Structure 1
Amino acid sequence: GEPSRGVPGSAAARAAGEKLTELADTLEPLLVYAWRRHLSAAIARMVADAEPSADHEGVFRVVGFADLVSFTALVRRLSEHQLVQVVQRFEALASEVIAAHGGRVIKTVGDEVLYVTIGTPPAAAIALDLVDAIKEDDILPKVRVGMASGQVVSRLGDVFGTTVNRASRLTAVARPNTVVVDDAVATALSSVSGFEMAQLPPRTLRGLGRITPWRLQRAGASGRRGRSDSGSATTT
């Protein structure tokens, strides 16, 4: 009978096999290069997490939370199959963006992704790219991102501490399709081209006290960068 849809015929399979064999030598250097880059990044993270201070004060990280908006309502509306598609799409897209900027996915929990970076600019690029990518995706709802930087305790692949809690709380006050960061992140990005921050009204966050959040966005066409204390900033 006819071959099943999506399954190549014998002639096509042989042709594909021959072509892949021809390309093996050409692809080998590229595969080795990619493997070396991944290995180098893994070693760098392992060494950084094993800093002498890790057992006491922790290590410095920028922590980001990406959270799908109105996920509970989505759960009620979608079938189980559709919900699985949404979650898998979110996890795959987030992992791709985070890896592209050298970040590390700590964990994914349905509608939320927790990631860390060592540097602040990569974390900011991840957050903004995530918002843009998900905004253009037809399957996914809107997303919001919260970021904070400081000391974290790294254990068994997870991270803990006040910095992680602060990033999570900032995510909760962010509006859809926006990125909200703490003062430490805003200060670190104030002299970095490509980003600009607008100060938001101070907020009292449970367990963290009163902090000043900032809305992060890409620099405008004028190339303006740094922090703006304009009172016209949108509140969360």
Structure 2
Amino acid sequence: MVRVNQPDIMMSHTNDELTTARSHRAVGEAIPRIAVLIDAVFRHHTISARTHFERVIRDASASVVCGIGFADLTGFTELTRRLTPFELSNFLAEFAGAVSDMVHTDGGRVVKFIGDEVMWVSSTPAQLVRVALDLVDHPQAREVSLQVRAGLGFGEVLAVGGDYFGTPVNLAARLVTAAAPGQILVSSDVRDQVPDLPAVPQEPLTLKGFDAPVTAFDLHCPADR
């Protein structure tokens, strides 16, 4: 993926005509760069969405069978206290870009970012797991003493307006909140689809929105990664 940097523009109020003129000039010079950024993002997401849907769509309905993943940063609240707003903004932008690259490289599609959390979809459980392993092993997070954790689900979901709804989505979202730092919790559906996963069953979890305790599996990262 070709990465396009964000234009470094800061606008403020001033009574100095020269400063105002320079600001307008800076904005004018940034317009071509913004156009390149928009074009790159549009093409990247179009290709990603097309590739994903070609793999998961089974019929003309909005129902698809795919893998759902959530990952977030543990220790992020503490990080917000250590960084300035500018540093935090840069970190989140760089982290989001790196995460998007990983998800797309492994054949997935980023659905949305919610603060320090990312939701993505993959057409197969194997691809879903590969993305999660790459995210948990993220070097940029380790550089600032953060750890990534993930929750994975698989099954039939409803695709509406670029978002996804259904039990596998809800389960994956609950599993990531139950995971420990650096841990990947997968649902039994993911485990059944990829039986050779190095996954260890956990004690049944009581999760919000689920009437009965849920059995999840702790996915261990291979030692050679």
TM-score (norm 2): 0.72
Looking at structure 2, the residues matched to 70 and 139 of structure 1 have their Cα atoms a distance apart, in angstroms, of 10
> Offset of 1:83 from its aligned partner?
1.1
- Offset of 1:39 from its aligned partner? 7.1
Query: How many Å apart are 1:76 and its aligned residue?
Result: 3.0
Give the letter aligned to residue 203 of structure 2: P
Contact 2:57 2:65 in 1 (8 A): no
2:69–2:153 Cα contact (<8 Å) kept: yes
Equivalent of 2:65 in 60, 69, 90: 60
Which shows bigger deviation, 174-183 or 65-74? 65-74
Which whole-Å CA distance do the structure 1 matches of 2:140 and 2:61 have between them?
37
What's 1:213 paired with?
216
Counterpart contact for 1:71–1:111, Cα < 8 Å: yes
Aligned with 2:198: secondary structure? strand
Equivalent residue in structure 1 for 2:50, among 43, 46, 55: 43
Residue 134 of structure 1: how far off its partner (Å): 3.7
| Aligned-residue offset at 1:86 | 2.1
Question: Which residue identity lines up with residue 167 of structure 1 in the other structure?
Answer: A
Contact 1:134–1:141 (8 Å) recurs in 2: no
107, 128, 134: which one aligns with 1:129? 134
Between the aligned partners of 2:195 and 2:56, the Cα distance in structure 1 is 27
TM-score, normalised relative to structure 1: 0.69
1:176 aligns with 2:220: no
Matches within 5 A, 1:179-190: 179-190=184-195
CA shift, 1:110, in A, is: 1.9
- Bigger CA radius of gyration: 1
- The alpha-carbon distance between structure 1 residues 174 and 135, as it changes in their structure 2 partners (threshold 3 A), is farther
The amino acid across from 1:173 in the alignment is A
CA distance in 1, matches of 2:68, 2:45: 21
Q: 1:149 deviation in Å? A: 0.7
CA–CA distance in structure 2, aligned partners of residues 38 and 136 of structure 1: 24
In structure 2, runs of 5+ residues without a counterpart are 1-43
1:26-62 deviation line (CA, Å, top 9, x unaligned) = xxxxxxxxxxx9977643434456543634xx21111
C-alpha distance 89-213 of structure 1, shift in aligned 2 (>3 A): same
Please provide the CA RMSD for this pair: 2.5
In structure 1, runs of 5+ residues without a counterpart are 1-36, 222-236
Number of paired residues?
181
Shift in Å, 1:155: 1.0
In the TM superposition, what is the alpha-carbon distance from 1:203 to its structure 2 partner? 0.7
Quote the offset at 1:199 in angstroms: 0.8
Post-superposition offset of 1:124:
0.4
1:1-236 map, 5 Å: 42-47=49-54, 51-52=58-59, 54-55=61-62, 58-134=63-139, 137-139=142-144, 141-191=146-196, 195-209=197-211, 210-219=213-222
State the percentage of identical aligned residues.
Answer: 32
Give distance in 2, aligned partners of 1:39 and 1:157: 12
State the alpha-carbon separation in 2 of the partners of residues 99 and 203 from structure 1.
31
